[in-house]
Amino acid sequence: MKNRRLRSNRLMETLAAWVLVGPAVALLVVLFFVPVGAVFLIALTDWQFGARTLNFIGLANFREVFSDPGFRASLANTVIYVLIVVPGTVLAGLLVALLIESGKSLRTFYRAIHFVPFMATLTAMAIAWEALLHPTIGLVNQTLGALGLPTANWLRDEATVLPVLAAIGIWQNLGFSMVLFLAGLKSIPRDLYDAADIDGADSWLDRLRTVTLPMLGPVTMFVVIVVALRAFEAFDTVKVLTQGGPGHASEVLLFTLYRESFEYLRTGYGAAVAVVFLVIVMVLTLSQARVMDNRVHYQ
Amino acid sequence: MATVSIDTISKRYGETVVLRDVSLSIGDGEFLTLLGPSGCGKSTLLRIIAGLEVHDGGSVSIGERVVDHLRPKLRDVAMVFQSYALYPHMTVAGNMALPLRMRRLRAWQRLPLVGRMLPGTRKADAEIETEVSRTAKALGIGHLLGRKPGQLSGGQRQRVAVGRAMVRRPAIFLMDEPLSNLDAKLRVQMRAEIKELHQRLGITFIYVTHDQAEAMTLSDRVAVMLDGELLQVAPPQEIYADPDDRRIAEFIGSPKINMLDAIAREHGLVDVAGTTLAIEADALPGTPLALGIRPEAFQLTEYGGTGALTGAVRLVEHMGSDLFVHLDLPGADHPLIARLLAERAPTITPGQTLHLGVRPDRVLLFAPDGRRLRPRRDAVAPVTSLREYGR
């Protein structure tokens, strides 16, 4: 009797659990697992967007992706872009956060103006940057010229285009990392700074090394992961400003994906690029979390 | 050597006055406790001594040296914080070594990797390591040196914090409520260990607490603070038995001292709660007074009348060896609490009328402004009219 009631209770609980997670599971499946599965399947075909027929061609798309110099250049560009944007954003965000936190006046104002680029539509901002970077009438070259410094055709020169795009990337993400670092700085217990003062770590560098930086570890991990992901997704500025040029000098993964899939309509090939992109991003996220977790959460 | 003298220190935050002309001198090797309720300014005073807070007026000297403009690290003080303030990313050994590394190694010697290769670093590091492990052993945390604070229990963290303060042998040891994050049992144990530590080190301790039990058990002298003022500095026994101020009498002691409204009369008598006590009050007849009686200062008597308080029992609390009897007195708004020895008190039941004798020398009188009125020495009259058979 008692046993039966216990069993029916457990049944009810299981049922309730499924009802509660049901909507979330359904959404996950429809919006995430099914599309990802579809992309994997399409990557194994020669389907062209709009075509009525398709053939399974196995891993041919992947073989083509990895032997394509255009794709390799795109991958290399993406990696370089990420390697500039991530450290740049983290360091600049930390610096700005420390400066704002150490000052007393106008904190809200500084916080707001640094956060605006993150909130703004990047496509619109890219057009503004295009004007600034215009080789003859742009403010950047005008200023450099007036100061007697060498000017450049920033977006049309293979040597400068990627660093310039990365600089815009840093400019855009700076506000995001700054806000997170500000929150992190606020949560550091005052006692630790007092202890550091008494222990003799009272110069700004020693305080930074003994207390501030180690205590910002968890925030830094989060910022690095999120900014790295955002940098891998770079697309807007490339599409608006350079179309991947000159040559392939500023072609990045998402732009290649877009061009193959929606301009050349080679959907199967585009899907293979998407799979590669997905794998890179997943591996990166997991390994970053694993590596940094051990060094950052002090348990 | 390491005396501390505090001369008319004042401190305010905006409009709020936190410390009002506090002066205090602390002897070499003394254990002094700053005791007071939260918000009384005791922690601020400690932080001013440490140099973590800047005072608005007055001066602090450690030894013979005025330290007002010295940074904390130059004052030769160590501090144990309420939160312990251990660096969570460093091991116990790293935490304890930090004060030594900061003092003995130069900035470039402390650099990661490179520092180790510089001349002298290895030798200094080895010495530091030896001292850290010696201190850790003395505190019974030698086996924890490789762990991080997050892996330690509250008591262990507390010991690490003490170890970090102790390892560089400061002239003054400052402790800011070091036991308040521990559970009751551990607190009693650590209290004894702190006492022992003080005896072993023989240096000056300044200890901040709001817990009167800690203050009473640990201190050579207790400095009672209230609302930014230092009210009395005296040995624990004296603070308890002979307070200077009504607020001290009310703050110290558990259960709280009984305060009764009284009126001074002629010829060494005081009217209180419907009876008259033979107490010489240094006040004009007719002055309203506050009369304080500690719960344990009562004795059960058979008869009421002069020299005894009479009331109805409201509540009896059995505490094992003691009884706390709550008594309603006529004309008093709070019940009176008397602490009686359980074995000598016959069964007392609520509703019963009880007569409690009061020994005049155990009564504390306070003026309307809270100032203590001490009996004139020549006028303490022995009271013989009480027939007592227990307290």
Of A276, A282, A295, which Cα lies nearest the Cα of A71? A276
User: Which residues of A80-171 form beta strands (DSSP E)?
Assistant: none
Q: Are B91 and B147 in contact (CB under 8 A)?
A: yes
Chain segment A249-265, per-residue pLDDT in tens = 888 888 988 988 888 88
Q: Is residue B330 part of a domain?
A: yes
Provide CB contacts within 8 A for A279, sequence distance 6+.
Answer: none
Q: Is residue B385 part of a domain?
A: no
Indicate the pTM of the whole model. Answer: 0.80
* Token duo for residue B174: 């400052």
Q: Is residue A52 part of a domain?
A: no
Q: Is residue A290 part of a domain?
A: yes
Q: Are B289 and B264 in contact (CB under 8 A)?
A: yes
Q: Are B151 and B174 in contact (CB under 8 A)?
A: no
Of A268, A284, A290, which Cα lies nearest the Cα of A40? A268
* Token duo for residue A115: 């956060």
Give B-chain residues touching A219 at CB under 8 angstroms. none
Q: Using 50, 70 and 90 to split pLDDT, how confident is the model at B318?
A: confident
How many Cβ atoms sit within 10 Å of the Cβ of residue A212?
A: 20
Q: Is residue A208 part of a domain?
A: yes
Q: What is the average pLDDT across B39-53?
A: 93
What does the CA dihedral B70, B72, B74, B77 come to, rounded to 10 degrees? 130
Assign residue B285 the CATH number of its domain: 2.40.50.140
Q: What is the average pLDDT across B5-25?
A: 92
Give B-chain residues touching A210 at CB under 8 angstroms. 87, 98
Classify the complex by whether its ipTM is higher than 0.90, answering yes or no. Answer: no
Q: Do B98 and A199 touch (CB under 8 A)?
A: yes
Q: Which amino acid is at A213?
A: L
Distance from C-alpha of B79 to C-alpha of B164, rounded to nearest angstrom: 9
Query: A-side interface with B, Cβ within 8 Å?
Result: 189, 191-192, 194-195, 197-202, 205-206, 210-211, 214-215, 217, 298-299
Q: Which of A198, A200, A214 lies nearest to residue B79, judging by beta carbons?
A: A198
Q: Do B150 and A210 touch (CB under 8 A)?
A: no
- The percent of residues in chain B predicted with pLDDT above 90, rounded, is 50
Same-domain check for residues B28 and B137:
yes
Same-domain check for residues B28 and B97:
yes
Give B-chain residues touching A206 at CB under 8 angstroms. 102, 107
Please tell me the total count of domains within chain B.
2
Q: Are B10 and B2 in contact (CB under 8 A)?
A: no
Q: Are A199 and A255 in contact (CB under 8 A)?
A: no
Give B-chain residues touching A211 at CB under 8 angstroms. 87
Same-domain check for residues B232 and B201:
yes
Assign residue A82 the CATH number of its domain: 1.10.3720.10
Q: Which amino acid is at B272?
A: V
Q: What is the average pLDDT across B192-217?
A: 92
> What's the pLDDT score for residue B391?
37
- Rounded to the nearest 10 degrees, what angle do helices B154-166 and B121-138 cross at? 130
Q: Is residue B200 part of a domain?
A: yes
Compute chain B's Rg from CA coordinates.
26
* Token duo for residue A172: 């855009």
Residue A272 pLDDT > 70: yes
Residue B390 pLDDT > 60: no
Q: Is residue A21 part of a domain?
A: no
Q: Is residue A39 part of a domain?
A: no
Distance from C-alpha of A34 to C-alpha of A41, rounded to nearest angstrom: 10
Q: Give the H/E segment covering residue A206.
A: helix A204-207
Calculate the alpha carbon distances from B154 to B145, B176, B185, B286, B346 in Å: 16, 16, 12, 56, 45
* Token duo for residue A48: 């062209």
User: Is B146 strand, coil or helix?
Assistant: coil
Same-domain check for residues B72 and B146:
yes
Residue A243 pLDDT > 80: yes
C-alpha count within 13 angstroms, C-beta hemisphere, residue B262:
31
Q: Number of Cβ pairs closer than 8 Å across A and B? A: 68
Please tell me the total count of domains within chain A.
1
Phi, psi of B6 (to 5 degrees): -115, 125
Q: Is residue B117 part of a domain?
A: yes
Distance from C-alpha of B45 to C-alpha of B223, rounded to nearest angstrom: 12
Q: Is residue A55 part of a domain?
A: no
Distance from C-alpha of B267 to C-alpha of B260, rounded to nearest angstrom: 20
Q: Are A59 and A40 in contact (CB under 8 A)?
A: no
How many Cβ atoms sit within 10 Å of the Cβ of residue A12?
A: 10
Last-in-domain residue among B213, B241, B269: B241
User: Is B83 strand, coil or helix?
Assistant: coil
Q: Is residue A43 part of a domain?
A: no
> What's the pLDDT score for residue A294?
64
Calculate the alpha carbon distances from B257 to B152, B239, B288, B362, B363 in Å: 40, 13, 18, 11, 10
Q: What is the average pLDDT across B309-321?
A: 88
CA-based nearest distance B17→chain A, Å:
22
Of A146, A224, A155, A150, which Cα lies nearest the Cα of A184? A224
Same-domain check for residues B266 and B235:
no
* Token duo for residue A63: 């073989």
User: Is A277 strand, coil or helix?
Assistant: helix
Kindly tell me the sign of the dihedral angle through the C-alpha atoms of B48, B52, B53, B59: positive
Q: Using 50, 70 and 90 to split pLDDT, how confident is the model at B287?
A: confident
Pick from B79, B111, B174 the residue to mutate for testing the A interface (most A CBs within 10 Å). B79
Residue A144 pLDDT > 60: yes
Q: Are A52 and A46 in contact (CB under 8 A)?
A: no
Q: Do B51 and A194 touch (CB under 8 A)?
A: no
Pick from A191, A193, A198, A294 the residue to mutate for testing the B interface (most B CBs within 10 Å). A198
Last-in-domain residue among B194, B216, B241: B241
Q: Which of A200, A205, A299 lies nearest to residue B73, judging by beta carbons?
A: A200
Of B78, B304, B355, which Cα lies nearest the Cα of A198? B78
Q: Are B373 and B286 in contact (CB under 8 A)?
A: no
Q: What are the beta bridge partners of residue B313?
A: B327
Q: Are A85 and A227 in contact (CB under 8 A)?
A: yes
Calculate the alpha carbon distances from B26 to A60, B61, B212, B238 in Å: 86, 10, 20, 17
Phi, psi of B245 (to 5 degrees): -145, 145
Same-domain check for residues B168 and B277:
no
Domain of residue A162 covers: 69-296
User: Is A128 strand, coil or helix?
Assistant: helix
Same-domain check for residues B224 and B288:
no
Distance from C-alpha of A235 to C-alpha of A258, rounded to nearest angstrom: 9
Chain segment A75-116, per-residue pLDDT in tens = 999 999 999 999 999 999 999 999 998 888 888 888 888 888
Distance from C-alpha of A22 to C-alpha of B34, rounded to nearest angstrom: 60
Distance from C-alpha of A239 to C-alpha of A122, rounded to nearest angstrom: 11
Same-domain check for residues B81 and B23:
yes
For A212, which DSSP code?
A: I
Last-in-domain residue among B184, B214, B241: B241
Q: Do A206 and B102 touch (CB under 8 A)?
A: yes
Q: Using 50, 70 and 90 to split pLDDT, how confident is the model at B307?
A: confident
Same-domain check for residues B114 and B195:
yes
Q: Is residue B246 part of a domain?
A: no
Q: Is residue B94 part of a domain?
A: yes
Q: Is residue B344 part of a domain?
A: yes
Chain segment B255-279, per-residue pLDDT in tens = 899 998 888 887 778 888 777 888 8
Q: Which amino acid is at B81?
A: F
Assign residue B144 the CATH number of its domain: 3.40.50.300
Same-domain check for residues B8 and B146:
yes
Same-domain check for residues B193 and B277:
no
Residue B168 pLDDT > 60: yes
Same-domain check for residues B175 and B268:
no
> What's the pLDDT score for residue A107?
83
Q: Is residue A1 part of a domain?
A: no
Residue B154 CB-density burial (10 A; 0-12 exposed, 13-18 middle, 19+ buried): middle
Domain of residue B344 covers: 255-379
Of B111, B71, B66, B109, which Cα lies nearest the Cα of A196? B71
Chain segment B208-218, per-residue pLDDT in tens = 999 999 999 99
Provide CB contacts within 8 A for B153, sequence distance 6+.
Answer: none
> What's the pLDDT score for residue B389?
36
Q: What is the average pLDDT across A31-47?
A: 90
Give B-chain residues touching A205 at CB under 8 angstroms. 107
Residue B198 pLDDT > 90: yes
Q: Are B19 and B44 in contact (CB under 8 A)?
A: yes
How many Cβ atoms sit within 10 Å of the Cβ of residue A189?
A: 14
> What's the pLDDT score for residue A1?
57
Give B-chain residues touching A195 at CB under 8 angstroms. 79, 81, 85-87, 164
Give A-chain residues touching B99 at CB under 8 angstroms. 198-200
CA-based nearest distance A89→chain B, Å:
24
Calculate the alpha carbon distances from B344 to A90, A245, B76 in Å: 75, 101, 54
CA-based nearest distance B186→chain A, Å:
23
Of B68, B32, B9, B37, which Cα lies nearest the Cα of B174? B32
Phi, psi of B153 (to 5 degrees): -80, 170
> What's the pLDDT score for residue B376?
64
Of all residues in chain A, the one with the smallest CA distance to B84 is A191
Q: Do B77 and A195 touch (CB under 8 A)?
A: no
